[in-house]
Amino acid sequence: MPKQVDHRERREAIARALWRVVDASGVQRLSLREVAKEAGMSHGQLQHYFASRQELLTFAMDFAAEQTAARVAAGLADLGADPHPRDVLRLVLVEMLPLHADSRVTSRMNAAYVLEALHDEGIRARTRAGMAAGRAQVEELVRGAIADGRIAGTGHRRRRRTDCSR
C-alpha cells in the first residue's frame, strides 16, 4: 500500500524550509532550488506542491500569519476573560517585534514579501490588504476601548512639563 502524504503538512514543512533560507541568507537566495535543497527534496518534488516562487512565498506568508495568530490567541487566553485593551494591544505589538525565534522569522518573511511586492502586483495588492486589515484591527481595539471608557480618547492631552528639569 503506498504511503499517504499529508499535503498540508508537507507544504508547511516546505514553508519552514523557506523561512530557514530567508533567515540564514536573506531574500537574495530565495529560489525554489534553494528551498528544495533546504527541505531535503528535489526541485521537481517541490514544484509538485508549489508551481512558482510567488505561490510558495504567498503560502509561507499565510502560514506565518496563522502561526502568529495562534501565538496571539494563546497570549489572549493567558490574559483572561476581560483583558484591558492596553494589555491586548501590547500583546499584539510585542508579537510583531522580532523578540523571539518565531517572530524574527516572521519579521524577515515580511521584509521578503515587501521586497517581492515591489515587482509583483498580486503580492503588492495582498500586502496592501494585509496592512489595511492590521490597521483596522488596531483601530477597532482602540475605538472600542475609548467607547467603553477604558482608555482616554484623542481629546485627552498630555500635561506639559512646566519645570526646567528636562
Among the listed ranges 38-47, 65-74, 146-155, which one has the minimum average pLDDT value? Answer: 146-155
The answer to whether residue 160 scores a pLDDT higher than 70 is: no
pLDDT for the residue 1? 61
Write the CA distances from 166 to 80, 85, 158, 163, integer angstroms: 39, 31, 16, 8
Average pLDDT of span 24-50: 89
pLDDT for the residue 95? 84
What is the DSSP code string of 94-155?
HHHSS-SHHHHHHHHHHHHHHHHHTT-HHHHHHHHHHHHHHHHHHHHHHHHHHHTTSS--TT
The pTM (predicted TM-score) of the whole model is: 0.75
Cell triple for residue 136? Answer: 483596522
**% of the chain exceeding 70 in pLDDT:** 90
How far from chain centre, in Å, is Cα 137? 14
**Block residue for cell numbers 476573560:** 81
- Each residue of 76-88: pLDDT tens digit? 999 999 898 889 9
What is the DSSP code string of 68-84?
HHHHHHHHHHHH-SS--
- Each residue of 41-55: pLDDT tens digit? 999 999 999 998 889
Average pLDDT of span 36-40: 95
- Each residue of 8-18: pLDDT tens digit? 999 999 999 99
The answer to whether residue 133 scores a pLDDT higher than 60 is: yes
- Each residue of 70-125: pLDDT tens digit? 988 999 999 999 898 889 988 988 888 888 888 888 888 888 788 888 888 888 89
> Domains in the chain, start-ordered, CATH in brackets?
7-147 (1.10.357.10)
